[in-house]
Amino acid sequence: MADDARPASALKPADPCAMVLFGATGDLSKRLVIPALYNLEHAGTLPEGFALIGIARRNSDVDAWRAMLRQGLDDLVKSKTGTFQADRIDDGVWERLSRRMAFVQGDMTEAGLYTSVGQALEHAASERGTEGNALFYLAVSDRMFGPVVDRLGDAGLTQERNGAWRRVVIEKPFGHDLSSARALNAELLKSLSEEQIFRIDHFLGKDTVQNILALRFANSLFEPIWNRDCIDHVQITAAELVGVEERGEFYERAGALRDMVPNHMLSLVTLAAMEPPINLSPGEVRAKKAETMAAIRPVTPDKAVRGQYGAGAEGKAAGYRQEPDVARDSAVETYAALELEIDNWRWAGVPFFVRTGKHLTARVTEIAIRFKAAPLALFRGTPVESLDPNWLVLRAAPQETISLQFEVKRRGPAMTLAPAQLEFRYDDRFPKQSNVGYETLLYDVMIGDPTSFMRADMIEHGWRIIEPVLDAWAAEAPAFPDYASGSEGPEAADSLIAGSNQRAWRSLAPPARTPT
């Protein structure tokens, strides 16, 4: 294939549009947004009529910006530690993407910048064929979300005219508590309609996460057992090997609970727990997600555990309080675990345990469903003393897998049991693709599909659910640090899940693959 030839794609190209990237020189843009656009171009999914307009305060021009972004991609390829896993940068793909770039330097608080943005959009429509469609991506500090949208509105850039659409993509955090989330939603809705707002969560762009709906509703064997009659509890984990790295300043304001639970973790809960929609239209799917979030009770402080990592064994890893931009007596949590209760007919009495943390034993993102134990009476008079639980595990990272654990009889005359596992791995079944989690979501914004994005009411429910814990933790000084870097987290989390049924967290250690 010639370098300048566009590959065929299973998806139709998105609508012609200009993407205006605020924070174009920042870490998020370099590490995730630009790699996602590169992958979309590599797949032939970006429209021919596409323009990328970078906005930043840095005194730069388009050539310097292109060079910086290309260097960033090369660095990601060399490091092989991030989510961008390309073996090399295809020069032809990069050329097709980079020649459609423009750059506008300016202060986001100044009205003059938005005049320049309007001019850049007009130029993109005439020179790049964007048809006046525009996607404004706010890869900036959350304190700038409202002011930037206000100024876009004042400049008339959010108005949809002559059939052209205007959409705004907002990164988390969507507020810091319930009152600030409500205030932010109200401010955004001064200049935008709800249909124009896309609150992005890269967790929801992963193939395994998106496969939850297909697994549940396209397979008749799962739906009859997906309820309180058959399921004992659900564990949802988002564990990281790394610490806060260079994000100490942000983490001191947020902490693990604010950073992960009201968005990432609750989004996974709703996908696992929602009722079947009538169809897969965005309105129907989001309505069922919102119903599920509305049914989750606020978490009481006794159903929550926090932790902060200290130094690892033999001092091999620094504790959180030794990280850059972190207070030496910081009370900010780097680990949070909660027990959630969903107050509806399907899930009453089935606890959902969620946990997230940094500097843990392994990098793991998974939804694990534990089914109720089978009666043991049948096996009385045999060597069987207990039955291992059945698990259905949907793992999004590091290996995208779906596995089912069940009991089988060992070979031989005696009735002895052993756990067995059926496993589906994406890499074994489908060609491997570089995916940072934003590709599907950016494409969805370009075609106007909000299925994987949270509505304003869902955001507010997320904060409502955790607000009692936030208030309680703010009023009490914790005994930190309370878990070592490289461990599975604080001991208190084990007590949280044990309860009266002697449940236990699944190990974070990478599972051994079943021999074939």
Which residues have a catalytic role annotated?
264
Do residues 438 and 205 make contact, with C-beta atoms less than 8 angstroms apart? Answer: yes
Q: How many residues does the chain have?
A: 516
Q: Distance between CA 243 and CA 312 in Å, rounded? A: 11
Q: What phi and psi values does residue 102 have, to the nearest 5 degrees? A: -140, 165
Query: Exposed/middle/buried for 449, CB within 10 Å: 0-12, 13-18, 19+?
Result: middle
Element (H, E) at 334: none
Q: Distance between CA 58 and CA 22 in Å, rounded? A: 12
SS3 215: helix
Q: What is the 3-state secondary structure (H, E, C) of 434-488?
A: CCCCCHHHHHHHHHCCCCCCECHHHHHHHHHHHHHHHHHHHCCCCCCCCEECCEC
Chain centroid, CA 302 distance in Å: 27
Q: Distance between CA 68 and CA 63 in Å, rounded? A: 9
Cis amide prior to 173 (ω within 30 degrees): yes
Q: What is the 3-state secondary structure (H, E, C) of 402-416?
A: EEEEEEEECCCCCCC
* Crossing angle for the helix pair 282-295 and 456-474, to the nearest 10 degrees: 30
